[in-house]
Structure 1
């Protein structure tokens, strides 16, 4: 820290707040500690009686918090066109989404950077939807100045890819296979499909067809393959997912040759979920067996999986297994999902 003439302070960093007092009008901070003095600031500083200032001495290898914040933003976002940064304030930059989609986080890189100290990155939960304009993450350099070698270490710890990415939703053609002999025979009304259509309405989808093969396993298999061959990008099988002898949906999906990622999920409601991928005509088509709870429960495992499927974010078995922590919906009187602990 050194004292210099105010007229000579352009480009230097203030070591203390500068207060402005205007009788009956204002008493507050004119410039905050850490502010980089600009040419246009000089008349204001002189007007509050500051003819000398204490400033940080520029030293090789030392970065001001705002310079370091720009590096931290680069670590978070790279050159991504899917996010933008806010104006730097006191070493802080926020990362804001420019599109609707699913937030993906390289969690190992996030932990590695936050473990270095003197800098931080805080984000919303990954694998959940974000909308255009949503704040994705906030970053800050803790001290007023920081060694450049520490920011170099942060870049190395984070690796070559940005920590954050947003996968945009893709337009999908959807086929619906409604199982159950009671539906096929018209004994009861199909109340599942309207719920499914309502949930799909929040995404860029086109339902191209619905078939009702009853509980015939071969007919279920044929219906799935027919949708795939007709160009469906996503296939839902509703009902018939329990272990009852007449529930044939899991077997019908399996007989298509699809790769079963999971039959069962540590989530309530939604334990009987089936996730599979059908390789057909050079395409990988998600096939989801939806348990009955999707029809009547406000929030289920389907609300955790659907956005990811719509963004072509491949579902892995270990990710389903990890849903056990946070996988219990508390059925709150007033649902605030996704602003709650369900699925997190």
Structure 2
């Protein structure tokens, strides 16, 4: 590209043809109102507006062979950055906006994102990896810094972004049938509160509860209940087991059924005394009953992952340690049970 300053006899309709405007032109008597925005590719038809700005000197950029305008560059980058569950908008003011196509978990390939932003002129910015997002929520922006970039530089960025499932994507929540097994001795008032809480949480993810069953502290009763509940459920939530007691009836019953313990305990607080097992391919997630009432425990970090239909592993639990001190400052990581926030703030 080549920068030019147009003035005098060169500041004409012919002189601006094909040039990229490098400055925003304002209404002469009202500098809060724009006539033409910087980055615009000018044509002779723009001359009356340019003339009305009454400027003595106009800064423009001339595109040369092998140059790509910022709007086209942003469109091309966004095409390879956006993965499943992502909608591309724009560009507006030379920036492409990416939004969530569905309610789900926002995922970022941070390594490739960093590699892209290390390329001169490329600028891609996102929400945090793992954040819950609602349909329509802005999740990322894509742009290049100058008005014009070399084609070779853009191709390098496209090569880095290509492959896989995009640099950013949204894992959609899947409608699951959820069963709940409780060994806690809850009185009628506590049961009512417990059931309302868990039903609200499950419904928030677009799923439904197939059954809530209360059982005695008996290995045989727990074994029979687990076997029966999982016949009609995709996910089993259990409450009341002591994850640190090897002889706990729930843990013994699961062992008898051939379940495999994926992880016991989580490096986070509150809610560290959780566990996850699998019986065939169906997850069984154990928490304390009090965890069902709270809106900010490990339960509420793991549930969204389970509702995407992804297989949650011990490594997913291990990664909770970074940011595992669950204070008010971590509120953005938790489901906003009751309703999605669809506003961009």
Assess same fold via TM > 0.5. yes
- Match of 2:149, SS? strand
1:172 paired residue number: 176
1:263 paired residue number: 264
Alignment of 1:232-243 (within 5 A): 232-243=233-244
Distance 1:34 1:189, change over 3 A: closer
TM value normalised by structure 2: 0.83
1:144 paired residue number: 147
Alignment of 1:316-327 (within 5 A): 316-327=313-324
Distance 1:50 1:98, change over 3 A: same
CA distance in 1, matches of 2:76, 2:299: 38
- The alpha-carbon deviation at position 246 of structure 1 amounts to 6.8
TM value normalised by structure 1: 0.84
Whether 2:40 is the aligned partner of 1:35: answer: yes
Q: How many residue pairs end up in the alignment?
A: 325
- The alpha-carbon deviation at position 47 of structure 1 amounts to 2.4
- The alpha-carbon deviation at position 296 of structure 1 amounts to 4.6
Alignment of 1:1-344 (within 5 A): 1-2=3-4, 3=6, 5-8=11-14, 9-22=16-29, 28-38=33-43, 40-49=45-54, 53-77=58-82, 80=84, 82-160=85-163, 161-180=165-184, 182=185, 189-190=190-191, 192-229=194-231, 231-244=232-245, 247-279=248-280, 284-330=281-327, 332=328, 337-338=331-332
- The alpha-carbon deviation at position 38 of structure 1 amounts to 4.6
- The alpha-carbon deviation at position 194 of structure 1 amounts to 3.4
Q: Does the CA contact (< 8 Å) of 1:77 and 1:162 recur in 2?
A: yes
- The alpha-carbon deviation at position 316 of structure 1 amounts to 2.2
Distance 1:249 1:28, change over 3 A: same
- Match of 1:96, SS? strand
- The alpha-carbon deviation at position 128 of structure 1 amounts to 2.7
Q: Does the CA contact (< 8 Å) of 1:65 and 1:145 recur in 2?
A: yes
- Match of 1:237, SS? strand
CA distance in 1, matches of 2:255, 2:46: 71
Structure 2, unmatched stretches of 5+, are 335-345
- The alpha-carbon deviation at position 40 of structure 1 amounts to 4.6
Q: Does the CA contact (< 8 Å) of 2:20 and 2:147 recur in 1?
A: no
- The alpha-carbon deviation at position 263 of structure 1 amounts to 1.1
- Match of 1:255, SS? helix
CA distance in 2, matches of 1:120, 1:241: 49
RMSD value over aligned CA atoms? Answer: 2.7
Q: Does the CA contact (< 8 Å) of 2:28 and 2:54 recur in 1?
A: no
Q: Is the helix fraction higher in 1 or 2? A: 2
Query: Whose RCO is larger (CA < 8 A, sep 6+)?
Result: 2
Q: Does the CA contact (< 8 Å) of 2:243 and 2:274 recur in 1?
A: no
Q: Does the CA contact (< 8 Å) of 2:69 and 2:147 recur in 1?
A: yes
